[in-house]
A and B are shown apart, each in its own frame.
Chain A
Amino acid sequence: MPRFLLSLSFALLLTAARLTAAAVVQVHVTDAKQSSVADAVVSLIPLDAAPVFTPSTTPVVVAQQGQEFEPYVTVIVPGTRVNFPNQDNIRHQVYSLSKTKPFEIPLYGPGTEQSLLFERPGIVALGCNIHDWMAAYIVIVATPYYLKTATDGMARLVDLPPGRYRLEVWHPRLSGEANREVTIAAGDTAQQSITVILKPDRRIRRAPDGAGGGYK
């Protein structure tokens, strides 16, 4: 009986600590050559309790600008609505054949804004039927703890409750999988370094603009 009490008191203490001292995990993503990797999606999926996340109330934007998608990689949680505004003076036809969310937005002109709801977690590769070089990714993660690495390869995840997590890293050129289990203590600031293997950067070279217009 006193043993039970002891445990309970410990649990109360822990809860108090969790409320008062959230942890921080700083993840550094590098490639095989130890170069920092930008645009890598870093997510921490809680293993001790079901993750609780709330979709953003303001729509996330993947714009078509200068015949490119902007941004290249977008991370959202399921149930998020994504707007596809055409900011060019030409038409686009955005599609995806990804199983997560196959779709096609038939040709739409400048100024038009199309909107789609992404409900399932997964990766959606975006393309344009008019422009082969246009490519972007929407990564839908079922956790509130995610971030995209900056150009220095760093992602600083804050307000993490202590506990066990699966640390996942995804990148458009990722070869295989990159994840590990991490345990976070209260009030801790943990450093995590993850090395990923990337496929060669192969993008379709964009043809020079204007058939007869010469080069800039």
Chain B
Amino acid sequence: MIFRFLQFRRFSHRLFVLFVGLLGAALATTYFVVTSTNESNARENARANLELAARLVDSAIKQRIEFLVGSAKVMTGDYAFKQTFSDGDARTLSSALVSFTGRVGAPVITLYDPDGKLLANSDHAMDNENAGPFAFLIQQATEKDLTQHSGFSYLKGQLHVLVVVPFYAPYPNIFGWFGLAFPLDREFVGKISAISGVELTYVNVEDPDQPRVLATTLPVAGTAPTARAAAAAKRAREARELRPETEMVALPEERYVTLIRFQEMLAEDYIALVLQRPPTELASARDLENAIKLTSLLALAVATLLVLFIARSVSQPVVALVGHTQRIARGDYVVRNQDYRADELGRLSLAFDDMARGLAERDRVRDLLDKNVSPEVAAALLRDGAILGGQEREVTILFADLRGFTTLSEKLTPQELLTLLNRYLDRMSAAIEAHGGVIDKFIGDAIMALFGAPVAQADAADRALAAALAMEKALVQLNAELAAEGIAPLAIGVGVNTARVVAGNIGSARRLNYSVIGDGVNVASRLQSLTRTADYRTNVITSAATLAALREPTKFTARPLGTVPVKGRAEPVEIFAVE
């Protein structure tokens, strides 16, 4: 199937598909490998950056906790405070805590007894209900015997990090707990964002269908981070696993790389921290992709032009050669190629022209022959390089004539007559050619044949007599057939003479005939006519010259018939009947 598809009618198409196809495939592969690697690298980098920012958040929170723990420890060392605490003066304690908020920069400072009961606070809004998360932390710390504890929770509806620190008197006797808190607000995320260049958003995903932004660095609290956080929270809930997620988020104006981290809260809930970064790494990756795309297309265009040029340079001479071949097939040998190039095609053109020249020569020769002789003879002539010019040579000439043809022609219709004649001539010709004779010409119902010309034959005389006897035999066969058809038998007379004659092309410039001329031809004709003489009782008469030329005289039986005068000859010719 594919091979059929690849069978192109034009070489240039094949070259184009192969070359441009291969190059295109190579470029496409390179493009996809490079871009996918690039993209995944950029993604990995972006993710690493986001994770760094996430660790920065963790670190900042941890530091803040440590600072508050340290501050609480210092506060417990305050004698006056210790005294007040021991006295149980809640009002004084509360006002002392307000003073501490100024000292340590924690907006919320509260004080609890060892059982987690609120004793005093720096903020009137921090009532027992709001102090619940602190009590929870104190309970956990007591159970686990911790020297400090912290967690995420809402205080007065706002996201806070809570820290509880025991109040020793002295260590390790716990006489109470400090509860401190700081908010994860816009100011906090803003500071991290300023350092890391990452946009941060805390999202309440308690109800994933109604996510709520708690704090964000984004100028407008976009719906995208909340939606992403909500979707991630849903997935997390289904998977029952709080796994950080990285994904590409398409905001209308630009793409962000997003990392979502979940943060567990004290109250068996969690919030999502959405970290987002403009995809600067991805932008550079896109630039590279575009550069590769452009270069690839350029390379393909250049390759296409190159292929077309090469294909043209190859196919044009080929097409020209095809044209020439077709013209030669029609017999026009004059065409010649031009611009012989140095490559194989040039050599082919050169060889082609040589061939055309050779064909022209050969055809010219064959043309001359074809007008006169049978194809075999023509081929033999060409093969042996016979010279067709006038030449004197010894030739045996055979003349055959149909006797009583005139009487026959009166009985038959012209059509029947011609059919019968051709039938007769065909048999005779076959007999002659079977013995290597060349039909020189048909003269009405008479045949003139040559042996030893145009190609010399050493046994020309033997062949001629053998042919004469074969003709007699062939006629007997034909007569048998004719008798069956109710036609009267035919009779034949054959004269054979060997003589030196002039052989060559005879005729006008337009029409040439290869033939022989000379006295010997007339003698052969005369011998043929002598077969009509009833006294001789023979169909085949030959001359002494022929008998003398025989190579194997014992093969034939020659009966002397005496001598006869021949017109134009001083000496009479000695004749023999051949049987």
Which A residue's beta carbon lies closest to that of B83?
Answer: A104
Smallest CB separation, A197 vs chain B (Å): 13
* Residue B85 at the chain A interface, CB threshold 8 Å: yes
Distance in Å from the Cβ of B85 to the closest Cβ of chain A? Answer: 7
User: In the complex the two chains form, what is the Cα distance from A95 to B173 in whole Å?
Assistant: 13
Residues of chain A contacted by B79 (CB below 8 angstroms): 93, 95, 104, 129
Establish whether residues B170 and A126, one from each chain, have CB atoms under 8 Å apart when the complex forms. yes
Cβ-defined contact, B171 with A204, below 8 A: yes
Cβ of A134 within 8 Å of any chain B Cβ, yes or no, is: yes
Pick the residue among A104, A132, A199, A202 that contacts B77 (CB under 8 A).
Answer: A132
Interface residues on B, range: 10 to 19
A132-B77, A199-B145 are contacts. A125–B173 as well, Cβ < 8 Å? yes
A111-137 with Cβ < 8 A to chain B = 125-129, 132-135
CB neighbours (8 Å) of A126 from chain B are: 170
- Residues on B with beta carbons closer than 8 Å to the beta carbon of A129: 77, 79, 82
Which chain B positions have C-beta within 8 A of A204?
171
User: Is the Cβ of B145 less than 8 Å from the Cβ of A127?
Assistant: no
Query: Given that A93-B79, A97-B85, A97-B86 are known contacts, is A132 also in contact with B145, CB under 8 Å in the complex?
Result: no
Q: How many A-B residue pairs have CB under 8 A?
A: 45
Once the chains bind, are B83 and A132 in contact (CB under 8 Å)?
A: no
Distance A162 CA – B538 CA, assembled complex (angstroms): 187
Q: A134 to B77, alpha carbons, bound, how many Å?
A: 13
Cβ of A102 under 8 Å from chain B? yes
In the docked arrangement, what's the CA distance between A133 and B168, Å? Answer: 11
Q: Mark B57-96, 1 if CB is under 8 A from A, else 0.
A: 0000000000000000000010100110110000000000
A33 in contact (CB, < 8 A) = no
Give complex CA distance A145, B454 in Å: 165
Contact of B169 among A127, A133, A202 (CB under 8 A): A127
> Which residues of chain A in 96-118 are interfacial with respect to chain B, using CB atoms and an 8 Å cutoff?
96-97, 102, 104
A3 interface residue, CB < 8 Å from B?
no
B444 at the interface (CB under 8 A from A): no
Flag whether A216 is at the interface (Cβ < 8 A).
no
Kindly state whether residue B172 has any CB partner on chain A within 8 Å. Answer: yes
Residues of B within 8 A of A125 (CB): 169-170, 173
Q: Are B171 and A132 in touch, CB under 8 angstroms?
A: yes
Smallest beta-carbon distance A119→chain B, Å: 18
Contacts of B85 in A (CB 8 A): 97
In this complex, how many residues of chain A approach chain B with their Cβ under 8 Å: the count is 20
Interface flag for B175 (CB, 8 Å): yes
Interface string of B157-173 (1 = CB under 8 A from A): 00000000000111111
CA gap between A203 and B170 in the complex, in Å: 10
Chain A residue numbers with a CB within 8 Å of B83 are 104
Residues of chain A within 8 A (CB-CB) of B77 are 129, 132
Q: Distance in Å from the Cβ of B9 to the closest Cβ of chain A?
A: 94
The CA-CA distance from A93 to B83 in the complex, in Å, is 12
Task: Tell whether A133 pairs with B86 under 8 Å between CB atoms, given A93-B79, A104-B79.
Answer: no
In the bound complex, how far is the Cα of B147 from the Cα of A133, in angstroms? 15
Whether A95 contacts B82 in the complex (CB less than 8 A), given A129-B77, A132-B77, A199-B145, comes out as yes
Q: Closest B-chain residue to A104, C-beta based?
A: B83
Do A127 and B86 have beta carbons less than 8 Å apart? no
The residue in chain B whose Cβ has the minimal distance to the Cβ of A201 is: B172
Bound: A199/B168 CA distance, A = 16
CB distance from A202 to the nearest CB of B (A): 5
Contacts of B173 in A (CB 8 A): 125, 135
Task: Find A133's partner among B145, B171, B175 (CB 8 Å cutoff).
Answer: B171
Complex-state Cα separation, A204 to B172, whole angstroms: 8
CA distance A102 to B87 in the complex (A): 9
In the docked arrangement, what's the CA distance between A128 and B169, Å? 9
Q: Nearest-CB distance from A139 to chain B (Å)?
A: 14
B165 to chain A, nearest CB (A): 14
Q: Determine the distance from Cα of A67 to Cα of B82 in the docked complex, in whole angstroms.
A: 21
For the complex formed, measure the closest distance between the CB of B175 and the CB atoms of chain A, giving whole angstroms: 5
> B76 — nearest CB in chain A belongs to which residue?
A132
Residues of A within 8 A of B170 (CB): 125-128, 132, 134-135
- Is the beta-carbon distance between B86 and A102 smaller than 8 angstroms? yes
In the A-B complex, the 7 residue pairs with the smallest Cβ-Cβ separation, listed nearest first, are A127-B170, A97-B169, A135-B170, A97-B86, A125-B173, A202-B172, A204-B171
Provide a sorted-by-A list of 19 A–B residue pairs whose CB atoms are within 8 angstroms: A95-B169, A97-B175, A102-B86, A104-B82, A104-B83, A125-B169, A125-B173, A127-B168, A127-B169, A127-B171, A129-B77, A129-B82, A132-B77, A134-B170, A135-B173, A199-B145, A200-B145, A203-B171, A203-B172
Known: A97-B85, A127-B170, A202-B147. 12 other contacts (CB 8 A): A95-B82, A95-B169, A97-B86, A97-B169, A127-B168, A128-B170, A129-B82, A132-B77, A132-B168, A132-B171, A199-B145, A199-B172
Interface residues of A (CB under 8 A from B): 93, 95-97, 102, 104, 125-129, 132-135, 199-200, 202-204
